[in-house]
Structure 1
Amino acid sequence: MKWKLLFIPLILAAIAAMSGVVMWLWNAVMPGIFSGVQSIDYWHAMGLLILCRILFGGFRGRHGHHHGWHHSHRERWARWQAMTPEERAQFHKDRGIFCRPKPEEKSE
């Protein structure tokens, strides 16, 4: 329970620090690149940070996602290693329809 109580202020401090970094980067880069773009204040930077997390990142974090990909990659590799040469050839034949143009779509 103590860890959870300590975790909340750390999250809030991280959001505050990242908002400051977003504000600094925006004000240093964007007005120089695009004419008509104004500088933003701290609260607009925090809103932009939260909006970007909602649109592009979600709120789950990356640790579990990366671990899951690595685990599934190992499983696919193990299945590939267990295939016979005939099964691998059939796999390539079946998957080829997604990568090659259909005969009626070929330009001659």
Structure 2
Amino acid sequence: MKSTFNRNRKKFLFIPFGVAALLAIISYIVMVLWNNLLPNILNVNVITFWQAMGIFILCKILFGFGRHGGGGSWGARKMVERCKQMTPEERQQFKEEMKQKMCGWKKQNDPQNS
């Protein structure tokens, strides 16, 4: 019995080329958008293809790779998981506690209440 790698060897060989092509296309788009928009708006210099690739990679490192389908922070996903495990009574109690904690400051600092 052949392994998956041996059966799909051609597919595995194309993956690095596909990734490189995708990176090149996105870098080109970043370069074109930068060079057509930002020099006129912010008075910055035009950039080269390699600089655009560097900017794209830096943004991906800083802002994430979007693997979690729809964004959201790690803390938000963790909170959603915790809420899914709560009973309806626990969920209602949590909502009331958050309402008191989060909305109470507006009542205290509201100039109309003074």
Please tell me the TM-score bracket, short chain as reference.
0.5 to 0.7
Q: Give the aligned partner of residue 95 of structure 1.
A: 98
Question: What is the aligned length?
Answer: 97
Partner SS, residue 39 of structure 1 = coil
Percent of residue pairs bearing the same amino acid type: 31
Q: Give the aligned partner of residue 64 of structure 2.
A: 57
How far 1:34 moved relative to its partner? 1.3
Query: Please, which runs of 5 or more residues in structure 1 have no aligned partner?
Result: none
Q: Give the aligned partner of residue 48 of structure 1.
A: 55
Deviations 1:62-89 (A, max 9, x none): 2xx128x89x85984685xx525x973x
Q: Does 1:6 align with 2:19?
A: no
Which AA in structure 1 matches 2:98? R
CA distance 1:40–1:96, shift in 2 (3 Å): same
How far 1:101 moved relative to its partner? 2.5
CA distance 1:97–1:20, shift in 2 (3 Å): same
Partner SS, residue 69 of structure 2 = helix
One of 3, 18, 40 as aligned partner of 1:32? 40
Measure, in 2, the Cα distance between the counterparts of 1:44 and 1:24. 12
Q: Give the aligned partner of residue 66 of structure 1.
A: 69
Query: Please, which runs of 5 or more residues in structure 2 have no aligned partner?
Result: none
Measure, in 2, the Cα distance between the counterparts of 1:91 and 1:47. 44
Which AA in structure 2 matches 1:22? V
